[in-house]
Amino acid sequence: MEEKSYKEFLQHITTFVFDVDGVLTDGTVSISTDGQLLRKMNIKDGYALKTAVDKGYNVCIISGGSNEGVRKRLRALGITDIHLGVQHKTETLDEYFDVYQIKPENALYMGDDIPDLYVMQQVGLPACPQDAVPEIKAISKYISHRKGGKGCVRDVIEQVLRVQGKWNNNLDARVD
C-alpha cells in the first residue's frame, strides 16, 4: 500500500502541539552570569502561533524544560495550554486530548529529540524540524525545511492554515 503524502493530513488538523527546546528555539541555551538559562525564539514562529490561536485552533506546548520566560512569551501570544517541566509527555497529551475532546488524528505534534518519540506516535501528523535527530525524522510524516528556532513552527502552521483557507484570508488588498 502506498504511503500518504503529509499534505493529505493537513486538511484535518485542528490542534497544534509543540515541544520548546529544538523546535521553538534552536536548542542552544545561553547562561547568564547569575545562572539563568536564556533561549531565543523566532518572531515569525510567534506570529504563526498567535494567528493559529486567533483563528480558533487548539495550541498546546509540552516541554521538559521549565523556563518561566518561555511561559511568559507563550502566554503573550495567547497560548493558555502550556505544560513545562513535563517528564511524561504522553500522559500530558492524553489528558489534554481528554479535556478538549480532541481526536488524535486531528493533531499535529512537532518535536525534535528522543523525549518526543512516543508522544509523536500518538498524533495524526508527527512533524519535526530539519535538524531533528534521526530517530525523530524516521517517524515524522513531515520534516520541515527549516531548523528548530528558525521558522519550522511558522512553516507547519502556515501550511495547515493555507490548505484550510485560513492563512491571511482577511488581509486588506490595498497597499499603503
CATH number at residue 109: 3.40.50.1000
Domain of residue 99, residue span: 7-163
pLDDT in tens, 27-69: 998 898 998 888 899 999 999 999 999 999 999 999 998 888 9
- pLDDT value of residue 35: 86
2 domain-assigned? no
Q: Is residue 44 part of a domain?
A: yes
Residue 175: the pLDDT is 43
Using 50 as the pLDDT threshold, list the residues of the chain that sit under it.
Answer: 172-176
Q: What is the pTM of this model?
A: 0.92
The number of folded domains in the chain is 1
Rounded Cα distance between 46 and 85, Å, is 21
Gap between the Cα atoms of 50 and 76, Å rounded:
9
Q: Hey, which bits of 89-173 come out as E strands? A: 107-110, 125-128, 142-143
Query: Left, alpha or beta for 99 (phi > 0: left; psi -120 to 50: alpha)?
Result: alpha
Q: List CB contacts of 11: < 8 A, sequence separation 6 or more.
A: 163, 164
Is 169 contained in some domain?
no
Domain assignment of residue 175, yes or no: no
84 domain residue, yes or no: yes
**Would you state the pLDDT for residue 6?**
83
Would you state the pLDDT for residue 176?
42
Cβ pair 125, 108 in contact under 8 A:
yes
